[in-house]
Amino acid sequence: MKTRIFVSLLTASLIFFSCGNNDGETDEASRSAEQEQGLTEFELEHGVGPVTERVDIDDTIDAEMATKGLNIYEMKCEMCHNMEGRMVGPALGDVLERRSPEFVMNFILNPSGMVQEHPEGQRLLQEYMTAMPYQNVKEDEARAIVEFLRDYNQNQ
């Protein structure tokens, strides 16, 4: 009899604490994706990689940098990415409307880390079924690609 009462009280306690007054549970349930993914707020918004703070970008397009970015895009990106329309990878013409420059740079500079650690990188891998290869692009070259994308976007 005592065992039956003990089991009943234990069961009631478990139900109360797991479904009861949601004060502590609401806090846990509202944990940000940052904590669940192990990513900082910056990494969730701007990607995982060497770019760890906002990049200083002027309103004015740097034409020389944009041309350098176009050349790099044509040499290392164009085989998998169109500016408009899907290819092996997503279209890049409007990527800066969807993602921050830092996100784009981190994806270029750390594609395997983005696919392994970032929820958007994982989603893109599932959608396109191909991981973006590392193209040995340096940070200043990734910034030039962003400038090319900004220029392209502005002229559309």
**40 with 25, same domain?**
no
- Up-side HSE of residue 66: CA atoms within 13 Å toward CB? 15
CATH number at residue 53: 1.10.760.10
Joined tokens for residue 35: 């904590």
Q: Read off the pTM.
A: 0.77
Q: Per-residue confidence of the chain (156 residues) as pLDDT tens digits?
A: 554 444 344 444 433 334 444 444 434 433 444 455 799 999 999 999 999 999 999 999 999 999 999 999 999 999 999 999 999 999 999 999 999 999 999 999 999 999 999 999 999 999 999 999 999 999 999 999 999 999 999 998
**39 with 15, same domain?**
no
**5 with 72, same domain?**
no
| Sole residue written with tokens 């408009």 | 84
State the pLDDT at residue 36: 52
**75 with 142, same domain?**
yes
**143 with 82, same domain?**
yes
State the pLDDT at residue 59: 93
Count: domains in the chain: 2
Q: 113 lies in which domain range?
A: 34-154
